[in-house]
């Protein structure tokens, strides 16, 4: 009986301690968190993970600081909840900062808890999700809190391209604390509560005299549309965490695995005649490329990334016959789909992510060129455009492209062309491939002839048509093997799926084992 009583007492003590830890900063602070329109650290975890699957790590950790009144402010678990569980039935790790405990500030112990979870995620080959709501470094602990951030940054870098890393900004993230999210693959933000900035409005006003609000400076919409720091801007925490779950469903657990494949209910051989009528007859008229994507992918389900930033390029995830694919496309309805600095960065980063995590790339092309202008040149369009070349040339995942309308100049080369080792390159009969548009080419080649003609407009139109017939149509490129096939737009879905099946076993090792990559009678030696 004595032993039994001791066990019961010990279990009661354990239960009491767990309840104390789960209460965070206490009822008053939890109510304050709710009044701000924010959920608690544990409520967020409940929304992210499959019901009942979460296992907490280090729930009894306590900070070690004794100065500046902290000795009397010790909460079990300190200011972060860490652990692992299942998202869509798959292992996922998390740290969720608890703003009800000392403002979610990062102490030495908080840093160690986060780093332990990150190490376990990397060693287990599972995604890491950070739910961020913190006042920053705990100033009472001085350099130890700064060292904690350095340890987190190091792990972000070492895990880059190894496991998916997602940051969810649900409250403040200021100063050096913003660099951990910046090192991760995707950043989600909630409007009105999620904020990120290096220096706050008060500092900016003191230094520059500029008056700006917290939301204008570092809010979700600002970062999703202007800076490009955030990939998603959502209206509520519930919606935001639901979208995190959705994104994880497209991704593999790590860089050694393929993405999950699901049973497809959409016929892989489905033909779609509506694709014939999306592109306008006027070659300069705009249309919405997402309509084409929606008709081609499984069930029209396309999850855009960076939707509000650099809208002339579209990137995102979809499935083709149940396989995850990364989609890159021009958006002719915004800036005619030209490539500029931001669009090049956006597309290059996405291509490299897909390559790191074995996600095939499907590219839809309608690009008139790179955006001209002094601002673009001074901003470094040359080096930014080179990032996209590098990304496509380096990518060893299956690369399939569909040229819907036009591909002119260097922009043709950049967009997964055969010269950058695109595996399968399709074109619609409406496609145009040339150094530049027929009108521009004719104005240069036949400038003197046009200017001396009795009817310059008539001769120009005749020369433009002749140039287009001889040099611009897709059959010219197809005759040289630069286009693998000119296809009926209605068959786009089945053609892409067939190519994905053919390329299913494509591996870098197989390419490296060959004597070289043959293209247009030139043997390109395999890179070491």
Q: CB-based contacts of 102: which residues, under 8 Å, 6+ apart?
A: 25, 73, 75, 78, 79, 135, 138
Catalytic residue among 174, 411, 427, 431: 411
369 catalytic? Reply is no
337 catalytic? Reply is no
User: Which of 267, 250, 257, 371 is CA-nearest to residue 313?
Assistant: 371
User: Which of 455, 433, 436 is CA-nearest to residue 445?
Assistant: 436
Map 96-125 to HEC letters: EECCCCHHHCECHHHHHHHHHHHHHHHHHC
176 catalytic? Reply is yes
What value does the CA radius of gyration of the chain take, rounded to a whole number of Å?
Answer: 27
DSSP, collapsed to helix, strand or coil, labels residue 85 as strand
Distance separating alpha carbons of residues 194 and 230, to the nearest angstrom: 11
- Cα–Cα–Cα angle for 415, 419, 422, nearest 5°? 60
Torsion of CA 432, 436, 442, 448, to 10 degrees: -170
136 catalytic? Reply is no
85 token code pair = 């569980």
Q: CB-based contacts of 91: which residues, under 8 Å, 6+ apart?
A: 84, 85, 124, 126, 253
Q: Give me the phi and psi of 468, to 5 degrees please.
A: -65, -40
Residue with tokens 């693959």: 185
Catalytic residue among 32, 125, 161, 176: 176
Distance separating alpha carbons of residues 270 and 240, to the nearest angstrom: 33
Residue with tokens 């960065």: 345
| Segments of 321-398 assigned E as strands | 323-330, 361-367
Length reported for the chain: 528
Catalytic residue among 125, 161, 175, 419: 175
Cα-to-chain-centroid distance, residue 315: 8
**Catalytic (active-site) positions:** 175-176, 410-411
């Amino acid at each position: 009986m004595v032993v039994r009583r001791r066990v019961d007492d010990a279990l009661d003590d354990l239960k009491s301690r767990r309840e104390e830890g789960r209460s965070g900063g206490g009822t008053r602070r939890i109510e304050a968190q709710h009044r701000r329109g924010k959920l608690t650290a544990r409520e967020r975890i409940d929304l992210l993970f499959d019901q009942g699957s979460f296992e907490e790590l280090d729930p009894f950790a306590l900070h070690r600081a004794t100065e500046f009144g902290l000795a009397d402010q010790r909460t079990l678990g300190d200011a972060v909840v860490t652990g692992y569980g299942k998202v869509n039935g798959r292992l996922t790790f998390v740290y969720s900062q608890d703003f009800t405990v000392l403002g979610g500030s990062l102490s030495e112990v908080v840093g160690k808890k986060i780093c332990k979870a990150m190490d376990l995620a990397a060693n287990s080959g599972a995604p890491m999700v950070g739910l961020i709501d913190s006042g920053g470094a705990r100033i009472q602990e001085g350099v130890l809190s700064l060292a904690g951030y350095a340890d987190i940054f190091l792990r972000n870098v070492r895990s880059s391209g190894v496991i998916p890393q997602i940051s969810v900004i649900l409250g403040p993230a200021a100063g050096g604390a913003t660099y951990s999210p910046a090192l991760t693959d995707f950043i989600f933000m909630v409007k009105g509560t999620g904020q990120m900035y290096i220096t706050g409005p008060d500092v900016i006003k003191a230094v520059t005299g500029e008056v700006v609000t917290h939301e204008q400076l570092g809010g979700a919409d600002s970062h999703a549309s202007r800076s490009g720091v955030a990939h998603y801007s959502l209206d509520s925490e519930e919606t935001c965490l639901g979208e995190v779950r959705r994104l994880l469903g497209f991704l593999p657990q790590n860089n050694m695995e393929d993405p999950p494949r699901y049973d497809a209910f959409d016929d892989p051989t489905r033909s779609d005649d509506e694709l014939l009528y999306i592109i306008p007859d006027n070659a300069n008229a705009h249309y919405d490329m997402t309509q084409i994507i929606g008709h081609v992918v499984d069930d029209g389900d396309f999850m855009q990334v960076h939707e509000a930033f650099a809208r002339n390029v579209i990137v995102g995830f979809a499935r083709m016959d149940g396989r995850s694919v990364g989609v890159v496309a021009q958006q002719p309805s915004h800036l005619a789909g030209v490539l500029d600095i931001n669009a090049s960065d956006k597309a290059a980063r996405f291509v490299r992510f897909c390559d790191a995590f074995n996600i095939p790339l499907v590219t839809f092309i309608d690009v008139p060129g790179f955006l001209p202008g002094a601002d673009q040149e001074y901003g470094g369009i040359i080096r930014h455009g080179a990032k996209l070349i590098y990304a496509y040339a380096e990518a060893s995942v299956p690369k399939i492209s569909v040229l819907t309308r036009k591909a002119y100049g260097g922009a043709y080369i950049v967009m997964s062309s055969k010269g950058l080792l695109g595996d399968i390159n399709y074109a619609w009969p409406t496609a145009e491939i040339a150094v530049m548009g027929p009108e521009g080419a004719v104005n240069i080649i036949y400038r003197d002839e046009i200017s001396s003609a009795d009817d310059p407009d008539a001769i120009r139109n005749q020369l433009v048509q002749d140039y287009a017939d001889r040099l611009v149509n897709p059959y010219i490129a197809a005759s040289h093997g630069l286009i693998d096939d000119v296809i009926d737009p209605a068959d786009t879905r089945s053609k892409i799926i067939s190519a994905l099946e053919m390329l299913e076993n494509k591996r870098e090792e197989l390419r490296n084992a060959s004597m070289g990559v043959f293209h247009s009678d030139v043997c390109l030696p395999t890179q070491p």
